[in-house]
Amino acid sequence: MALQYRLLENGNGIQFDENGRPLVFDDEKEDEKEFGLDAIHLFTKIPALQAEAKTYREEKDAYKSKLDAFDGLSPEEVQKKLNSFIGIDPEKAKKALATVSNLDQLDKERNIEVEKLKAGVAEAYEAQMKDLTAAYTTKIQEREQEVERKDGAIRKLLIRGAFDRSGFLKDHTVIPAEMAYNTFGANFSIEEKNGNLQVYAVRSNGDKILSMSKPGDPASPEEAIEVLINEYQYKDDILKTNQGGSGAGGNVGSDATKRQQLQALAVMSPSERLKALRR
């Protein structure tokens, strides 16, 4: 269709009908019947026609997508597939699909809540573990301090007490027990043997001081104190003399002789020491 305006006879204008509308005709038709063109009506009609065409196009696409489900199927297969939907209420089917969709959403929400709950439990557990660890650490520290206090009391009783009670220190040295303990106390330790606490001492080289009277056993604190002092490099400055206190002549007499014998035994090997004691 190709509309043309009906011109005036002189060709200098357009003819109008009695309603003031321009006259047009279809130049592709032989009768060239003319009519008045209502431009306003045509302008408003076009969008409506476009919307109607869009609706038809969308419906066509919807029907096409539904028909695609049967693409490639024979008529018998199509009929069989259609028969499977017999008795199904479309509204109920929609409600069922909506319910399934809601269940999926509910599952997602529940999963989110579960994850939040797990995170909360984990956070509470970690906080509780931190509190328990802190409390346990405090208890351990208190117990260690208590053990240290008890060890200090035991050491004071068994080792410092041995220096305080030492007859050798009182009778044969010029230093008080406290000074002797400060000098030689570090050589003494305590060990547990057969359920009993036992004091032993070591020389400056780390060797355990053994008893002269009981070969193989650790020396008693009194005996160990005497050995340590006799091996002390400044022993001449702290040992008493029995020559009127003048400090001359060195250590003599029976006590000095006994100390010299003990000192000689101390440097012997265990077998040599045993033989010397049997003489």
Instruction: Give yes or no: residues 178 and 259 share one domain.
Output: yes
Instruction: Give yes or no: residues 91 and 79 share one domain.
Output: no
Minimum mean pLDDT range among 67-76, 91-100, 249-258: 249-258
Residue-level pLDDT at 43: 65
| pLDDT tens digits, one per residue of 74-94 | 777 767 766 666 777 777 777
Query: What pLDDT band is residue 256 in, cutting at 50, 70 and 90?
Result: low
Nearest to 222 by CA among 268, 172, 267, 182: 172
Residue-level pLDDT at 150: 78
Q: Is residue 46 assigned to a domain?
A: yes
* % pLDDT > 70, the chain: 74
Instruction: Give yes or no: residues 114 and 35 share one domain.
Output: no
Residues of the domain holding 204: 166-278
Instruction: Give yes or no: residues 79 and 93 share one domain.
Output: no
Q: What is the mean pLDDT of the chain?
A: 78
Spell 132-159 as b/e; 16+ CB within 10 A means b. Answer: eeeeeeeeeeeeeeeeeeeeeeebeeeb
| pLDDT tens digits, one per residue of 4-62 | 777 777 877 877 888 788 877 776 666 667 777 666 666 677 777 778 888 888 887 77
Q: Is residue 158 assigned to a domain?
A: no
Minimum mean pLDDT range among 21-35, 188-202, 242-256: 242-256
Please say if the pLDDT value at position 1 is more than 60. no
Q: Is residue 74 assigned to a domain?
A: yes
Beta strands in the chain (DSSP E): 3-5, 23-26, 34-36, 188-193, 196-201
Q: Which of 60, 83, 106 is the last residue of a domain?
A: 83
Instruction: Give yes or no: residues 178 and 256 share one domain.
Output: yes
Q: Is residue 179 assigned to a domain?
A: yes
Q: Which of 147, 174, 196 is the last residue of a domain?
A: 147
Q: Which of 64, 83, 102 is the last residue of a domain?
A: 83
In terms of average pLDDT, the best of 74-78, 123-127, 145-149, 185-189 is 185-189
Instruction: Give yes or no: residues 185 and 203 share one domain.
Output: yes
How many domains does the chain fold into?
3
Extract the tokens encoding 57: 């196009």
Instruction: Give yes or no: residues 176 and 247 share one domain.
Output: yes
Please say if the pLDDT value at position 243 is more than 60. no
